Amino acid sequence: MNKKDMAIILSVCTTLLVNTTYFSITEAKGTINRNDIEANYNPFSDEDIVDDSTLTMTERLAKIQNEQKEHKSAIENVQDGHLYIPKKTQLKVELVNAITSKTAQEGENVDIRLVDNLIVNGVVVIPKGTIGKAYVYKARSAGGFGRKGILMIAGKEFKTINNIVVPLKQGLTGEGNSDGGGVAVAAVISVIGGAFMKGTNIEYPAGTIFNVEVKENVDLQATPDNLNEIMNPNIIHGTEITINL
């Protein structure tokens, strides 16, 4: 093989490698539309991270004292005397429809169904079978060089019988398979050969069961005395409008 032929082959391989890398980046980025989820929020984080690095020592001490007072005097986000759904309550849910990393888009809405009743003080506040909302937090389709598909579904919200929004976090995570070391060897030997070695996508069938977590304390706007009445499913709950003619 002469130098001219080698130069042509090298040029083709370089172009293919650049194009493959480019498509990997653009596909991984996806279309971001987080449905009003706050910027930089990670629903799979175990704790809410607060940056207090800019506070002075006096401000930090005041912050700690205020937090201690709030903890002693009241439950966060809950009016005194009201019942509530505690933060980090685990809920078992299932996917209503199948979804795959091959076609999923970041920010896409996903329907979830509550598997068991959520009961507070002996009263059902969210019935089994209630449809809630989740969304695609991260999605990446499978690609060349053994790149495996990734799909993360985060819980967003349920509503109680009396229409109280229950914000959620955590959810379902998974990824396909890659060719591992074989791909790395193939990539060294042949850029063209490696590009045709595909990873696999991850697919969650309808009915896939997983857990979500209540993001924060949720005030049920009810007391122990009237919870049963407020959560009566036979009472119509919603926004009432009165029009006087």
Per-residue pLDDT at 120: 97
| Per-chain mean pLDDT for the chain | 79
Per-residue pLDDT at 21: 38
Structure-model confidence comparison of residues 241 and 20, the more confident one: 241
* Structural domain includes residue 241: no
Structure-model confidence comparison of residues 244 and 65, the more confident one: 244
The three-state (H, E, C) secondary structure of 158-169, written as one string = EECCCCCEEEEE
* Structural domain includes residue 67: no
| For the chain, percent of residues with pLDDT exceeding 90 | 51
Show the tokens assigned to 197: 């070695």
Contact assessment for residue 168 and residue 92, using Cβ atoms and an 8 Å cutoff: no
* Structural domain includes residue 64: no
SS3 (DSSP) at 85: strand
The CATH number of whichever domain residue 203 belongs to comes to 2.40.128.260
* Structural domain includes residue 237: no
* Structural domain includes residue 70: no
* Structural domain includes residue 76: no
Domain containing residue 24: 3-45+82-230
Structure-model confidence comparison of residues 76 and 19, the more confident one: 76
Show the tokens assigned to 119: 């009961």
Per-residue pLDDT at 19: 44
Beta bridge partners of 35: none
Among 61-75, 157-171, 209-223, the least confident range = 61-75
CB atoms within 10 A of CB 138: 16
Among 15-19, 33-37, 74-78, 231-235, the least confident range = 15-19
- Residue range 129-187, pLDDT digits in tens: 999 999 999 999 998 777 899 999 999 999 999 999 999 999 999 998 876 544 454 44
Q: Which residues contact 131 (CB under 8 A, 6 or more apart)?
A: 96, 111, 112, 113
- Residue range 86-122, pLDDT digits in tens: 999 999 999 999 999 999 999 999 999 999 999 999 9
14 has pLDDT over 60: no
Per-residue pLDDT at 173: 94
Task: Count Cα neighbours of 162 within 13 Å in the Cβ-side half-sphere.
Answer: 16
Mean pLDDT, residues 1-25 taken together: 47
The three-state (H, E, C) secondary structure of 218-245, written as one string = EECCCCCCCHHHHCCCCCCCCCCCCCCC
Per-residue pLDDT at 239: 75
* Structural domain includes residue 14: yes
| Cβ-based burial of 178 (10 A; exposed 0-12, middle 13-18, buried ≥19) | buried
* Structural domain includes residue 53: no
Number of independent structural domains in the chain: 1
* Distance of alpha carbon 149 from alpha carbon 176, whole angstroms: 5
Among 26-40, 58-72, 97-111, 197-211, the least confident range = 26-40
128 has pLDDT over 90: yes
* Distance of alpha carbon 200 from alpha carbon 46, whole angstroms: 29
